[in-house]
Amino acid sequence: MKTRGILVLTLCALVADLHAQYKYGLTPMRYDQYLESVKRDPSKELVDLEKHIPGIVLDIRYATTNNFTGEKIYDIPKAYARKPVADALKRVQQDLSANGLGLKIFDGYRPYRATVKFYEVYRDTTYVASPYRGSRHNRGCAIDLTLIDLKTGEELKMPTGYDAFTRDAWPTTPVKDPTARRNRQLLIEAMEKHGFKVNASEWWHFDFRGWGRFEVLDIDFSEL
Protein backbone atom coordinates (compact mmCIF):
# COMPACT_ATOMS: atom_id res chain seq x y z
CA MET A 1 0.00 0.00 0.00
CA LYS A 2 2.89 2.34 0.81
CA THR A 3 4.37 1.86 -2.70
CA ARG A 4 0.99 2.52 -4.27
CA GLY A 5 0.61 5.70 -2.25
CA ILE A 6 4.01 6.95 -3.36
CA LEU A 7 3.10 6.22 -7.00
CA VAL A 8 -0.16 8.15 -6.67
CA LEU A 9 1.62 11.13 -5.13
CA THR A 10 4.24 11.06 -7.90
CA LEU A 11 1.58 10.99 -10.62
CA CYS A 12 -0.32 13.81 -8.94
CA ALA A 13 2.85 15.91 -8.81
CA LEU A 14 3.51 15.20 -12.50
CA VAL A 15 -0.02 16.20 -13.48
CA ALA A 16 0.25 19.40 -11.42
CA ASP A 17 3.58 20.20 -13.06
CA LEU A 18 2.20 19.69 -16.56
CA HIS A 19 -0.88 21.77 -15.74
CA ALA A 20 1.34 24.63 -14.59
CA GLN A 21 3.42 24.49 -17.76
CA TYR A 22 0.45 24.16 -20.12
CA LYS A 23 -1.61 26.95 -18.58
CA TYR A 24 -1.24 29.08 -21.70
CA GLY A 25 -3.68 26.99 -23.73
CA LEU A 26 -1.09 25.11 -25.77
CA THR A 27 -0.58 21.35 -25.30
CA PRO A 28 2.68 20.29 -26.95
CA MET A 29 3.52 16.82 -28.22
CA ARG A 30 5.12 14.48 -25.69
CA TYR A 31 7.70 11.75 -26.33
CA ASP A 32 5.38 8.85 -27.21
CA GLN A 33 3.39 11.06 -29.58
CA TYR A 34 6.63 12.28 -31.15
CA LEU A 35 7.74 8.69 -31.81
CA GLU A 36 4.47 7.97 -33.58
CA SER A 37 4.84 11.09 -35.71
CA VAL A 38 8.36 10.01 -36.77
CA LYS A 39 7.03 6.60 -37.82
CA ARG A 40 4.55 8.35 -40.08
CA ASP A 41 7.06 10.91 -41.35
CA PRO A 42 10.80 10.22 -40.81
CA SER A 43 11.64 13.87 -41.65
CA LYS A 44 10.25 14.78 -38.23
CA GLU A 45 13.07 13.04 -36.39
CA LEU A 46 15.12 15.21 -34.02
CA VAL A 47 18.75 14.75 -35.04
CA ASP A 48 21.77 15.12 -32.74
CA LEU A 49 23.68 17.93 -34.48
CA GLU A 50 27.03 17.06 -32.91
CA LYS A 51 26.85 13.55 -34.39
CA HIS A 52 25.33 14.63 -37.71
CA ILE A 53 27.65 17.51 -38.67
CA PRO A 54 31.42 16.96 -38.72
CA GLY A 55 33.33 19.72 -36.93
CA ILE A 56 30.28 21.42 -35.40
CA VAL A 57 30.99 23.12 -32.06
CA LEU A 58 28.48 23.38 -29.22
CA ASP A 59 28.21 26.06 -26.54
CA ILE A 60 24.86 25.20 -24.95
CA ARG A 61 24.42 28.07 -22.50
CA TYR A 62 21.05 26.83 -21.23
CA ALA A 63 22.71 23.68 -19.87
CA THR A 64 24.68 26.01 -17.57
CA THR A 65 23.89 29.06 -15.45
CA ASN A 66 25.61 31.29 -18.03
CA ASN A 67 22.39 32.57 -19.58
CA PHE A 68 19.90 35.38 -19.05
CA THR A 69 17.85 33.38 -16.51
CA GLY A 70 20.89 32.62 -14.32
CA GLU A 71 19.57 29.05 -14.02
CA LYS A 72 20.38 25.69 -15.60
CA ILE A 73 17.47 25.00 -17.96
CA TYR A 74 18.53 21.85 -19.86
CA ASP A 75 19.46 18.53 -18.26
CA ILE A 76 22.36 17.87 -20.66
CA PRO A 77 24.35 20.05 -23.13
CA LYS A 78 22.97 18.82 -26.46
CA ALA A 79 21.63 20.39 -29.65
CA TYR A 80 18.94 18.79 -31.79
CA ALA A 81 17.01 19.81 -34.90
CA ARG A 82 14.52 18.17 -37.25
CA LYS A 83 16.12 16.11 -40.02
CA PRO A 84 15.71 18.66 -42.88
CA VAL A 85 17.07 21.41 -40.63
CA ALA A 86 20.07 19.31 -39.64
CA ASP A 87 20.77 18.45 -43.28
CA ALA A 88 20.62 22.14 -44.25
CA LEU A 89 23.00 23.07 -41.42
CA LYS A 90 25.39 20.39 -42.60
CA ARG A 91 25.48 22.05 -46.03
CA VAL A 92 26.14 25.45 -44.42
CA GLN A 93 29.04 23.96 -42.47
CA GLN A 94 30.47 22.41 -45.65
CA ASP A 95 30.33 25.75 -47.47
CA LEU A 96 31.97 27.64 -44.61
CA SER A 97 34.73 25.08 -44.04
CA ALA A 98 36.07 25.77 -47.55
CA ASN A 99 37.01 29.23 -46.21
CA GLY A 100 38.35 28.03 -42.87
CA LEU A 101 35.16 28.87 -40.97
CA GLY A 102 32.58 26.85 -39.07
CA LEU A 103 29.47 27.06 -36.93
CA LYS A 104 29.14 27.25 -33.17
CA ILE A 105 25.67 26.26 -31.93
CA PHE A 106 24.19 27.96 -28.87
CA ASP A 107 20.76 26.35 -29.07
CA GLY A 108 18.58 24.23 -31.32
CA TYR A 109 15.42 22.34 -30.39
CA ARG A 110 14.05 23.73 -27.13
CA PRO A 111 11.44 21.94 -24.97
CA TYR A 112 8.23 23.95 -24.59
CA ARG A 113 8.63 24.13 -20.81
CA ALA A 114 11.84 26.14 -21.38
CA THR A 115 9.88 28.66 -23.46
CA VAL A 116 7.41 29.01 -20.59
CA LYS A 117 10.30 29.62 -18.19
CA PHE A 118 11.89 32.23 -20.47
CA TYR A 119 8.60 34.09 -20.86
CA GLU A 120 7.98 34.16 -17.13
CA VAL A 121 11.50 35.48 -16.49
CA TYR A 122 11.54 38.03 -19.32
CA ARG A 123 8.13 38.89 -20.75
CA ASP A 124 9.23 41.01 -23.71
CA THR A 125 8.21 38.91 -26.73
CA THR A 126 10.57 40.92 -28.92
CA TYR A 127 13.25 38.60 -27.55
CA VAL A 128 11.47 35.58 -26.05
CA ALA A 129 8.68 33.53 -27.64
CA SER A 130 5.09 33.65 -26.48
CA PRO A 131 3.99 30.46 -24.70
CA TYR A 132 0.54 30.95 -26.19
CA ARG A 133 1.95 30.02 -29.63
CA GLY A 134 5.21 28.25 -28.85
CA SER A 135 8.43 28.98 -30.68
CA ARG A 136 10.22 27.73 -33.77
CA HIS A 137 12.76 26.30 -31.33
CA ASN A 138 9.97 24.18 -29.79
CA ARG A 139 9.32 22.78 -33.27
CA GLY A 140 12.97 21.86 -33.80
CA CYS A 141 13.19 24.39 -36.62
CA ALA A 142 15.24 27.25 -35.15
CA ILE A 143 18.95 27.51 -34.49
CA ASP A 144 20.97 30.01 -32.43
CA LEU A 145 24.54 30.14 -33.69
CA THR A 146 27.60 32.13 -34.69
CA LEU A 147 30.74 31.75 -36.81
CA ILE A 148 34.13 30.51 -35.65
CA ASP A 149 37.63 30.33 -37.08
CA LEU A 150 38.32 26.60 -37.52
CA LYS A 151 42.05 26.97 -36.81
CA THR A 152 41.75 28.88 -33.55
CA GLY A 153 38.23 27.92 -32.48
CA GLU A 154 37.60 31.58 -31.72
CA GLU A 155 34.27 33.23 -32.44
CA LEU A 156 34.27 35.85 -35.18
CA LYS A 157 33.45 39.35 -34.01
CA MET A 158 29.74 40.17 -34.16
CA PRO A 159 27.72 43.31 -33.26
CA THR A 160 26.79 41.89 -29.83
CA GLY A 161 27.20 38.77 -27.76
CA TYR A 162 24.61 35.98 -27.66
CA ASP A 163 21.26 36.77 -26.02
CA ALA A 164 21.90 40.51 -25.97
CA PHE A 165 18.37 41.84 -25.67
CA THR A 166 19.08 45.22 -27.25
CA ARG A 167 18.42 46.94 -30.54
CA ASP A 168 22.10 46.47 -31.42
CA ALA A 169 21.34 42.75 -31.84
CA TRP A 170 18.80 43.37 -34.60
CA PRO A 171 20.16 42.24 -37.99
CA THR A 172 19.02 45.51 -39.58
CA THR A 173 20.71 47.81 -37.06
CA PRO A 174 23.61 49.75 -38.65
CA VAL A 175 27.02 48.59 -37.39
CA LYS A 176 29.97 50.99 -37.31
CA ASP A 177 32.62 48.30 -36.88
CA PRO A 178 33.36 47.01 -40.41
CA THR A 179 34.55 43.60 -39.18
CA ALA A 180 31.42 42.93 -37.12
CA ARG A 181 29.24 44.20 -39.97
CA ARG A 182 30.97 41.95 -42.50
CA ASN A 183 30.79 38.88 -40.24
CA ARG A 184 27.10 39.38 -39.51
CA GLN A 185 26.35 39.63 -43.23
CA LEU A 186 28.47 36.58 -43.99
CA LEU A 187 26.52 34.51 -41.47
CA ILE A 188 23.15 35.70 -42.76
CA GLU A 189 24.05 34.97 -46.37
CA ALA A 190 25.45 31.54 -45.55
CA MET A 191 22.29 30.57 -43.69
CA GLU A 192 19.81 32.06 -46.16
CA LYS A 193 21.46 30.18 -49.01
CA HIS A 194 20.30 26.93 -47.40
CA GLY A 195 16.76 27.78 -46.42
CA PHE A 196 17.01 29.79 -43.21
CA LYS A 197 15.69 33.25 -42.35
CA VAL A 198 17.28 35.49 -39.74
CA ASN A 199 15.09 36.59 -36.84
CA ALA A 200 14.11 40.27 -36.87
CA SER A 201 15.54 41.00 -33.41
CA GLU A 202 18.44 38.54 -33.05
CA TRP A 203 21.32 38.22 -35.52
CA TRP A 204 22.16 34.74 -34.09
CA HIS A 205 18.64 33.26 -34.46
CA PHE A 206 17.62 31.57 -37.71
CA ASP A 207 14.29 29.93 -38.55
CA PHE A 208 14.08 27.16 -41.11
CA ARG A 209 11.62 27.91 -43.90
CA GLY A 210 8.78 25.40 -43.75
CA TRP A 211 8.74 25.23 -39.96
CA GLY A 212 4.94 25.36 -39.91
CA ARG A 213 4.48 21.66 -40.65
CA PHE A 214 6.34 20.63 -37.49
CA GLU A 215 4.61 20.32 -34.13
CA VAL A 216 5.50 22.03 -30.86
CA LEU A 217 7.28 19.50 -28.62
CA ASP A 218 7.97 19.21 -24.90
CA ILE A 219 10.59 16.48 -24.69
CA ASP A 220 13.65 16.53 -22.43
CA PHE A 221 17.03 15.90 -24.04
CA SER A 222 17.55 12.87 -21.78
CA GLU A 223 14.51 11.23 -23.42
CA LEU A 224 16.07 11.66 -26.84
Per-residue pLDDT tens over the stretch 180-210: 999 999 999 999 999 999 999 999 999 999 9
Lowest mean pLDDT among 12-16, 34-38, 67-71, 105-109: 12-16
- Encode pLDDT of 7-24 as tens digits: 444 444 445 455 556 899
Sheet holding 57-58, edge to edge: 57-58, 101-107, 142-149, 202-208, 196-199
**Residues 165-178, mean pLDDT to the nearest whole number:** 96
Return d(Cα 81, Cα 84) in angstroms, integer.
8
Cα diameter, the chain: 70
Task: Please report, as a single letter, which amino acid is at residue 70.
Answer: G
- 126, 187 in Cβ contact below 8 A? no
Return d(Cα 62, Cα 73) in angstroms, integer.
5
Predicted confidence at residue 28, as pLDDT, reads: 97
Read off the pTM. 0.89
Taking 3-state DSSP, the helix, strand and coil percentages for the chain, each rounded to the nearest 5, stand at 40, 15, 40
What's the pLDDT band for 124 if we cut at 50, 70, 90?
confident
Average pLDDT, the chain: 92
Is pLDDT larger for residue 13 or for residue 121? 121
Predicted confidence at residue 13, as pLDDT, reads: 47
- Encode pLDDT of 172-187 as tens digits: 999 999 999 999 999 9
**Residues 166-170, mean pLDDT to the nearest whole number:** 96
- Encode pLDDT of 33-62 as tens digits: 999 999 999 999 999 999 999 999 999 999
User: Which listed CATH number (3.30.1380.10, 3.20.20.80, 3.40.250.10, 3.30.450.40) goes with 29-223?
Assistant: 3.30.1380.10
Instruction: Please report, for the chain, the start and end positions of each structural domain, with discontinuous segments joined by +.
Output: 29-223
